[in-house]
């Protein structure tokens, strides 16, 4: 099996797993990955994560031309912004996951550090998550907002919309966005209580240990 075929199968398998576990529903969400020749494979517009067809994934060449498969997701400006500003990006995942979206609607959110320091895992996989304002789905301005971060974040939360994560590989990007959703769920469960959070010294130790330059270069 060629590397392109393996990547197609992996994209569809990971997307189906996230769909089956309720991380994104209907025809929501989109996913892309860098191919061995420098091109991209991208989920088609209007496609369900639960029913992606490896043969119908949108295919782009290294110059960004659509050369095969179905028409790509309307969120291509969002995906392209991560690939263009974070040179090591090998995959981008965008979900409409329930708890992350719910958390993004609540007042008082820290725009520069969206997730509270509940567990070490979000820091290890995501770094600091930037909360961006609401944009209409497919609005090219979403890509402009990501470009405005100058490659300094691997994860953003689109208010009233959903999380987006860029990863060093496809599986890592999927794991990281699942961690974002899990931490958002914990934050909602703990809302109105006074939990013991990680302290600044513990967070600093994680940043040093796990080379958080990828999370917040």
Would you state the structure tokens that stand for residue 167, as one six-digit string?
Answer: 């990863």
213, with CB counted inside 10 A (0-12, 13-18, 19+), is exposed
Which residues are designated catalytic?
75, 121
| Phi, psi for residue 27 in degrees, rounded to 5 | -110, 30
CB count in 10 Å sphere of residue 136: 9
Q: Where are the beta strands (DSSP E) in 12-77?
A: 30-34, 40-42, 58-60, 66-68
Distance of CA 214 to the CA centre of its chain: 14
Contact in structure between 59 and 40 (CB atoms under 8 Å)? yes
Would you state the structure tokens that stand for residue 182, as one six-digit string?
Answer: 């899990």
């Amino acid at each position: 099996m060629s590397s392109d075929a393996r990547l197609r199968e992996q994209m569809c398998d990971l997307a189906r797993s996230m769909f089956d576990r309720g991380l994104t529903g209907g025809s929501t969400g989109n996913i892309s990955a860098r191919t061995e020749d420098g091109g991209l494979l991208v989920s088609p517009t209007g496609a369900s994560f639960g029913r992606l067809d490896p043969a119908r994934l949108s295919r782009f060449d290294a110059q960004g031309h659509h050369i095969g498969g179905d028409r790509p997701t309307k969120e291509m400006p969002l995906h392209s912004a991560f690939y263009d500003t974070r040179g090591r990006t090998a995959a981008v995942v965008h979900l409409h996951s329930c708890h992350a979206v719910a958390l993004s609607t609540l007042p008082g959110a820290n725009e520069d550090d969206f997730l509270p320091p509940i567990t070490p895992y979000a820091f290890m996989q995501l770094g600091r998550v930037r909360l961006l304002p609401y944009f209409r789905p497919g609005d090219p301005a979403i890509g402009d907002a990501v470009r405005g971060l100058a490659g300094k974040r691997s994860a953003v939360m689109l208010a009233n919309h959903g999380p987006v994560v860029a990863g060093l590989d496809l599986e890592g990007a999927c794991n990281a966005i699942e961690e974002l959703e899990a931490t958002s769920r914990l934050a909602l469960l703990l809302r109105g209580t006074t939990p013991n959070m990680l302290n600044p010294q513990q967070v600093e130790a994680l940043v040093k240990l796990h080379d958080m330059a990828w999370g917040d270069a």
